[in-house]
A = this chain, B = another copy of it.
């Protein structure tokens, strides 16, 4: 039996049923999921995942940090597999779609191919990356990061959770320390379907986001030092109040980011010392998060913020420092993979737009070692990392269909290249 790729249609109901079935593993009363990395619920969902893949004739292997690879052979066993995947772990009060959708949609793609008896040119692979959320073991995207050589295995093993439990012990405890050496599983390309976790697609009425890359992100600690003094007996003109200076910086950051197309900037935390109602703050400490898809414009934004801080400190008679504590350069996805996603959306007649991911994803690390792209579908109100996270039946189905078509399109080009 030979089926043409463009006749293959995923079963949206079957995908939805899988989403709802696995949502019971760690399901919360408020309709979310609590499935922390390498916990008992993670073991259960991993077992379920393995069984489903094996039922489709796939071979499931596991590497030393628990990344799970389900392989479906293609015609040319020498080719590196085209991967789909995301993660099955969740935030402590996570939703039903973040990560899970990308894995289960990949599973639905494999099922669709299996039922149709469709054979790809390259092997296909479905991946469940370990500890994407980073909420039990920091940092996030640990499994894909180890695979891509960003971190080594020893680093992963030494991570501890808030109760002091080590990653290495937790992985042994649930039986998911695999024999595969990290980073040795070949990946020819990767496609990750994910909910947007932002409000753009919904606001614009688009069904599909063609993700062209991941923003560059830089994190900073800013410390403003003034002079602590009595709120009642220190005249306004004799103060060196750290907080108004910090306030001026917060507004300047917002203004600079608004003036820079494509930029986002956030002060997510602020603390003052001594934090007493009737003491003028002697110190204010802020986090600054600057993001832009373009490295040069991100650097320019940083320079503007630094200049604003220096001006503000001088005007307020305080001193200030701004230290960069994390720098994640922009990740452009591969034009071949992005093109395959766009072609799939066009062929299906879906409303879509190019979009840059504002958040980190496993795909951002895998892009370092293989051609990669992502597909976004909307989520209600842009809400994520929240039990109320929601993406509709139709949106999940459309995303899975685009995923399948993009993978088959990419595979077809590989076949053409091999033939040509």
Interface residues of A (CB under 8 A from B): 196-200, 203, 215, 217, 219, 229-238, 241, 243-244, 246-248, 250-251, 254, 257-258, 263-272, 275-281, 287, 289, 291, 357-360, 382-385
Given A269-B272, A269-B276, A276-B268: A230 and B382 interface contact (C-beta under 8 Å): yes
Given A243-B250, A251-B247, A278-B289: A233 and B270 interface contact (C-beta under 8 Å): no
CB distance from A400 to the nearest CB of B (A): 21
User: From A203, which residue of chain B is reached at the shortest CB distance?
Assistant: B238
CA distance A55 to B240 in the complex (A): 47
Report yes or no: B254 in contact with A251, Cβ–Cβ below 8 A: no
Instruction: List the number of copies, as a whole number.
Output: 2
Report yes or no: B279 in contact with A234, Cβ–Cβ below 8 A: no
| CB<8 Å pairs between A and B, sample of 16 | A217-B232, A229-B383, A230-B382, A231-B264, A231-B289, A232-B264, A233-B358, A234-B264, A236-B264, A236-B265, A247-B250, A266-B278, A268-B277, A268-B281, A269-B277, A277-B287
CB distance from A98 to the nearest CB of B (A): 11
Q: What are the residues of chain B within 8 A of A263 when measuring CB–CB?
A: 236
Q: What are the residues of chain B within 8 A of A250 when measuring CB–CB?
A: 243-244, 247
Q: What are the residues of chain B within 8 A of A247 when measuring CB–CB?
A: 246-248, 250-251
CA distance A275 to B286 in the complex (A): 10
Q: What are the residues of chain B within 8 A of A277 when measuring CB–CB?
A: 219, 266, 268-269, 287, 289
CB distance from A138 to the nearest CB of B (A): 12
Give 3 nearest A-B pairs by CB, closest first. Answer: A198-B233, A232-B358, A233-B358
Known: A197-B230, A236-B263. 18 other contacts (CB 8 A): A199-B233, A200-B233, A203-B238, A230-B358, A230-B382, A231-B264, A231-B289, A231-B291, A232-B264, A232-B359, A233-B358, A234-B382, A237-B258, A243-B270, A268-B281, A269-B277, A270-B272, A278-B289
Given A243-B250, A248-B247: A196 and B233 interface contact (C-beta under 8 Å): yes
- Which listed residue (B230, B243, B383, B384) contacts A384, Cβ 8 A? B230
CB distance from A295 to the nearest CB of B (A): 16
Given A203-B238, A254-B244: A198 and B270 interface contact (C-beta under 8 Å): no
Q: What are the residues of chain B within 8 A of A270 when measuring CB–CB?
A: 243, 270, 272
CA distance A76 to B99 in the complex (A): 89
CB distance from A266 to the nearest CB of B (A): 4
Q: What are the residues of chain B within 8 A of A248 when measuring CB–CB?
A: 247, 251
- Which listed residue (B230, B237, B385) contacts A230, Cβ 8 A? B385
- Which listed residue (B244, B280, B287, B357) contacts A233, Cβ 8 A? B357
CB distance from A252 to the nearest CB of B (A): 9
